[in-house]
Amino acid sequence: MGDGAVTHIRVRVPGKVNLFLGVRGVRADGYHDIVSVLQTVSIHDTILARLDGKAVSAHPAARRFMELAFTVDGVVDGSVPVNGDNLAVRAARALMAESGVGTAPHTDDQDVPITRLHLTKRIPVAAGMAGGSADAAGALIALNRLWESELDRGELRDLAGLLGADVPFCIMGGTALATGTGTSTAQVLTRGVYHWVVGITDRSLSTPEVYRAFDEVSGPSDVEPDAVLQALRTGDAEALGAALHNDLEVAAVHLLPDLAERRQAMLDAGALGAMVSGSGPTLVALAATAQDANAMAERLASDFDRVEVAISPAGGPELAQR
Ligand code: ATP
């Protein structure tokens, strides 16, 4: 690798809220078709990818001997895998297979090129905010640049779709209408900035578990996202608050009944609208202004394990390199 080559990449990836989530029927492969409006929020994870050891000076051809080392810090407990099960590592491995990096047989050479991938978590885990998907997207973007793999955004999105339904959205960020299992996305026109209070619960809900409960206690709906899309087009926070909709909320509340009281507490605190985010159990409340969001967050502090204020949309993955 020549002088001035990039050896460190940092990518900040935002989590998301589903402003609208409609669940259609179950497909033959067991997945549900959905219609969803997704928007990034300003709660970020950070992926740091850096070349180490021989990797810093190695010729690009030596990348096929590359090894990967992974570490995590931040707001984590035992629920975030620190091994190959982590979605950031699965994304890295998928890119390695696609671009030929690290595909040579393992040697005992002490001086092999190493890529160190470090994840700092802030997005709540198994909370319906696409944290794992954001990390997968961040890893794909960071390593594609670090290894000069030169996949374009379309190719990255295709790879992303194999890793999880929300990963293609996380590659692009912003606001999108998602259909199919969620992997087909189209950017949506939005105006304005929205202020949120995010109510985080230590309990987690797995997405498959929530869909199973949905099949038991609810059923396919034909609610359309038009009111949400119209509110976003005009930047009307009050209309957006009234239009927020999530078909999975009934299932999340079925599994964690006290979510209903917490949602009510958000409305009592003055929210323009409140709902379970994605498959939950995070609850999000829309506030009219930043001041309202701060006041509501203070009032709701004792109702949740962690309360944050955030704004949306939060753009897409942001990359810094040296
Ligand atoms: P979605 O909103 O996309 O349904 P989620 O926010 O509910 O996802 P995640 O935070 O992505 O859920 O975590 C789901 C599970 O994935 C966790 O329980 C965890 O075991 C596993 N996981 C793998 N990689 C990660 C990661 N990088 N961050 C968080 N969880 C991860």
Burial code (b: 16+ CB inside 10 Å, e: under 16) for 265-289 equals: bbeebebbbbbbbbbbbbbbbbbbe
Give the Å distance between the CA of 80 and the centre of ligand 1.
Answer: 7
Cα distance between residue 187 and residue 148, in whole Å: 27
Residue 247 carries which DSSP code? T
Q: Is the pLDDT of residue 106 over 80?
A: no
Instruction: Please pick, among 45, 121, 135, 166, the residue that the annotation labels catalytic.
Output: 166
My answer on whether omega of the bond before 281 falls inside 30° of 0, hence cis, is yes
- Of 292, 259, 305, 295, residue with least CA distance to 278: 259
Residue nearest to atom 3 of ligand 1 (CA): 130
Give the Å distance between the CA of 85 and the centre of ligand 1.
Answer: 10
Q: Which is more confidently placed, 55 or 229?
A: 229
8 Å CB contact between 273 and 243: yes
Pocket test for ligand 1, best of 80, 248, 249 (most atoms within 8 A of CB): 80
All CATH 3.30.70.890 domain ranges of the chain, comma separated, are 194-312
Sign of the dihedral through C-alpha 112, 115, 119, 120: positive
Ligand 1 pocket list (CB less than 6 A): 79-81, 85-88, 125-133, 135, 166, 204, 207, 278-279
Q: Return mean pLDDT, the chain.
A: 93
pLDDT digits (tens, 9 = 90+) for 130-165: 999 999 999 999 999 999 999 998 999 999 999 999
- Of 320, 319, 15, 282, residue with least CA distance to 173: 15
Query: Is 0.85 surpassed by the pTM of this model?
Result: yes
Residue 185 carries which DSSP code? E
Q: Is the pLDDT of residue 60 over 90?
A: no
pLDDT of residue 2: 44
Burial class, 154, CB count within 10 angstroms (exposed 0-12 / middle 13-18 / buried 19+): exposed
Give the Å distance between the CA of 125 and the centre of ligand 1.
Answer: 5
Residue nearest to atom 18 of ligand 1 (CA): 126
Instruction: State the architecture of 194-312 in CATH terms.
Output: 2-Layer Sandwich (3.30)
* Active-site annotation holds for 166: yes
Nearest ligand 1 atom, CA 87: 24
Which residue has tokens 């000076």? 57
Cα distance between residue 91 and residue 164, in whole Å: 10
Helical axes 87-99 vs 153-163, angle rounded to 10°: 130
Least confident of 30-34, 132-136, 262-266: 30-34
Give the Å distance between the CA of 131 and the centre of ligand 1.
Answer: 6
Coil/strand/helix, residue 20: strand
All CATH 3.30.230.10 domain ranges of the chain, comma separated, are 8-76+83-184
Instruction: Taking residues 214-220, report their average pLDDT.
Output: 91
Instruction: Taking residues 189-215, report their average pLDDT.
Output: 94
Count of residues for the chain? Answer: 322
Instruction: State the architecture of 8-76+83-184 in CATH terms.
Output: 2-Layer Sandwich (3.30)
What is the phi-psi region of residue 271: left when phi exceeds 0, alpha when psi lies from -120 to 50, beta otherwise? beta
What percent of the residues of the chain are helix, what percent strand, and what percent coil, each to the nearest 5?
35, 30, 35
- Give CA separation, 216 vs 29, 98, 244, in Å: 18, 39, 23
pLDDT of residue 55: 62
Nearest ligand 1 atom, CA 164: 3
